[in-house]
Amino acid sequence: NYMTSAEIRQAFLDYFNQQGHEVVASSPLIPGNDPTLLFTNAGMVQFKDVFLGSDKRAYSRATSSQRCVRAGGKHNDLENVGYTARHHTFFEMLGNFSFGDYFKREAIKFAWEFLTQRLGLPEERLWVTVHYTDDEAEKIWKEEMGVNPERFSKLDEDNFWAMGDTGPCGPCTEIFFDHGPDVAGGPPGSPDEDGDRYIEIWNLVFMQYNRSADGTMEPLAAPSIDTGMGLERVAAVMQGVHSNYEIDLFQNLLKATASVLGLDSLDSKSLRVIADHIRSCSFLITDGVLPSNEGRGYVLRRIMRRAIRHGNKLGANEPFFHKLVAPLVNEMGEAYPELAKMQAQVERILLKEEQQFAKTLDHGMQLLTQAIAELDGKVIPGETVFRLYDTYGFPVDLTADVAREHELSLDMDGFEQAMEAQRERARASGQFSVDYNDQIKLDGSTAFTGYDRLEDRAEVV
Ligand code: ATP
Ligand code: MG
Ligand code: MG
Ligand code: MG
């Protein structure tokens, strides 16, 4: 029962449409209704206000295939890309939503029916989890759906979903696919659950609360349903492969990347990173993000520079990244006409960033390689990290990415100190008017903003 990604997307929307759901188009990656959210990270984002009751729609059931980016904020998978079989910075989330209409029973019934009937997945390959307090969902799964208690677990944090630190949230139930004993990893809730054998495919969230900044949770007026299933993960299941990177779409992108770089083999972590990053970068630009040194633009720049560095590692000595837009449009332009329309512009912006970063990438890599060679211990000094950042335009996470390949870490305290010393010097000389305290928090790592000198330096080095 092989299905292409496009066929799965259509089957999903058709199925829920037949169950009375309005088919709603994907919203852009910049959330239109929420300045606190970095990027659209789930299908529910465009319906956030409907869940909260402050927005009304003509329908109470909806279904969508939503483009998502998880590269900062509460949901950040940037560091997972290339290391797990299942994470992307950009992916498509299939979802069905109930706005005060059906609740747990129907949501579970729809999901189980779609997977076992419509997609024909064998029940023995599926594993179900619920929140440990949710006896109601447990009962529906075991007594009404007949799920085997041996493939069932009750969890805590993993079964409570929230869009961000504030906003709609609630307990959830998740469905995993067992890729079989050839893959390392234990079932959800077991000590070795971090392996990739049991891969989470679908999350059904029982939206019940609105969390405020102080952490208090107010019940929603109308309990609702929000589900999300990763298209690439289901495609892997339906195409009989383990890794998302083995599905139709990614095989074509990997081939295109290898061909542009003149490589024979498709088996490389760097190739997977590049194939992943061309999607997030192209769609972010399509949706209006431009590379810059702050906020969303800095996240885009970080992803671009990581991709460029990985290309460089594979031997690229001229701009290559922008050449992958055309193959991407081939794969996704039909489902996303806005991407096809923006192709030339996306290529231009990527090329410009490649040319600009090329001026410092080689020198920066030389500095870093030498620092690593001379290293006594496992930690790259903060001074080096700062110099790479300040002089060579290496976002800290890029340096960390290189360090990780050598099983090294960064002295972040030393980096902060070097940064502070820089601020002091700037203050003392009255040289800069920019506010160095103007920072954005991106999931633990701090990106410094209000700082335009990367460009200036890039020109002079
Ligand atoms: P995981 O535990 O594997 O990181 P998650 O629990 O963070 O996934 P959810 O927030 O529940 O994911 O999102 C709903 C669904 O979206 C997941 O069940 C999965 O199918 C898909 N998904 C989530 N993150 C990614 C990603 N980075 N790349 C591809 N698909 C993803
Ligand atoms: Mg996750
Ligand atoms: Mg999870
Ligand atoms: Mg989940």
Give 10-residue mean pLDDT values along the chain (461 residues).
95 98 97 88 95 95 98 91 95 98 98 98 98 97 97 95 89 97 94 92 97 92 96 98 96 98 96 98 98 95 98 96 98 96 98 97 97 96 97 97 97 96 86 42 38 33 26
CA angle in degrees (0–180, nearest 5) for 47-52-55: 60
Ligand 4 centroid to Cα of residue 350, in Å, is 32
Neighbours of 93 (CB within 10 A): 24
Cβ–Cβ under 8 Å, residues 175 and 111: yes
Residue 67 Cβ inside 6 Å of ligand 1? The answer reads no
Cβ–Cβ under 8 Å, residues 131 and 173: yes
Ligand 3 centroid to Cα of residue 201, in Å, is 9
Q: Closest Cα to residue 178, out of 156, 151, 206, 204? A: 151
Residue 233 Cβ inside 6 Å of ligand 1? The answer reads yes
Cβ–Cβ under 8 Å, residues 393 and 454: yes
d(CA 199, CA 405): 25
Residue 202 Cβ inside 6 Å of ligand 1? The answer reads yes
> Between β-strands 22-23 and 61-69, what pairing exists: parallel, antiparallel or unpaired?
parallel
Pocket test for ligand 1, best of 8, 29, 93 (most atoms within 8 A of CB): 93
Q: Which residue shows structure tokens 């630190």?
A: 165
319: which 2 tokens? 């701009």
Classify residue 235 by burial, with Cβ atoms within 10 Å: 0-12, 13-18, 19+. Answer: buried
Task: Return the ligand 1 atom nearest residue 200 CA.
Answer: 18
pLDDT confidence of residue 431: 59
d(CA 136, CA 414): 51
Which ligand ends up closest to the CA of 83?
1
Q: Closest Cα to residue 348, out of 323, 330, 317? A: 323
Ligand 3 centroid to Cα of residue 195, in Å, is 12
Q: Which residue shows structure tokens 């030389």?
A: 366
Cα separations (Å) of 413 from 173, 354, 417?
40, 30, 6
Kindly report the three-state secondary structure assignment for every residue of 143-212: HHCCCCHHHEEEECHHHEEECCCCEEEEEEEEEEEECCCCCCCCCCCCCCCCCCCEEEEEEEEEEEEEEC
Residue 102, φ and ψ in degrees, nearest 5: -75, 165
Residue 203 Cβ inside 6 Å of ligand 1? The answer reads yes
d(CA 372, CA 56): 57
DSSP single-letter state for residue 192: T
Residue 95 Cβ inside 6 Å of ligand 1? The answer reads no
pLDDT confidence of residue 35: 82
> Between β-strands 90-98 and 61-69, what pairing exists: parallel, antiparallel or unpaired?
antiparallel
Residue 164 Cβ inside 6 Å of ligand 1? The answer reads no
Pocket test for ligand 1, best of 44, 89, 233 (most atoms within 8 A of CB): 233
d(CA 295, CA 301): 10
Q: Find the DSSP H helices in 36-75.
A: 48-52
Is 248 strand, coil or helix? Answer: helix
d(CA 157, CA 27): 28
Q: Which residues of 143-180 are buried (b: 16+ CB within 10 A; e: fewer)?
A: eebebeeebbbbbeebbbbbbbebbbbbbbbbbbbbbe
Q: Which residue shows structure tokens 């009750």?
A: 154
Residues with CB under 5 A from ligand 3 (ion): 200
Cβ–Cβ under 8 Å, residues 185 and 193: yes
Cβ–Cβ under 8 Å, residues 458 and 358: no
pLDDT confidence of residue 121: 98
Pocket test for ligand 1, best of 128, 200, 283 (most atoms within 8 A of CB): 200
Residue 29 Cβ inside 6 Å of ligand 1? The answer reads no
Residue 232 Cβ inside 6 Å of ligand 1? The answer reads yes
Q: Find the DSSP H helices in 77-166.
A: 104-113, 135-139
d(CA 253, CA 211): 40
- The H-or-E segment that residue 26 falls in is none
Cβ–Cβ under 8 Å, residues 186 and 193: yes
CA terminus-to-terminus distance, the chain: 56
pLDDT confidence of residue 452: 34
Residue 140's contacts (CB-CB under 8 Å, 6 or more residues apart) are: 104, 105, 108
Q: Indicate the residue type of 278.
A: I
Cβ–Cβ under 8 Å, residues 245 and 254: yes
Ligand 4 centroid to Cα of residue 162, in Å, is 10
Task: Return the ligand 1 atom nearest residue 244 CA.
Answer: 29
Residue 230 Cβ inside 6 Å of ligand 1? The answer reads yes
Ligand 4 centroid to Cα of residue 298, in Å, is 27
405: which 2 tokens? 């390949």
Q: What ipTM does this complex have? A: 0.99
From atom 5 of ligand 1, which residue's Cα is the shortest distance away? 200
Task: Return the ligand 1 atom nearest residue 93 CA.
Answer: 16
Residue 44 Cβ inside 6 Å of ligand 1? The answer reads no
CA angle in degrees (0–180, nearest 5) for 107-109-115: 100
Q: Which residues pair with 126 in a beta bridge?
A: 177
9: which 2 tokens? 């997307």
Q: Which residues pair with 199 in a beta bridge?
A: 177
Residue 89 Cβ inside 6 Å of ligand 1? The answer reads no
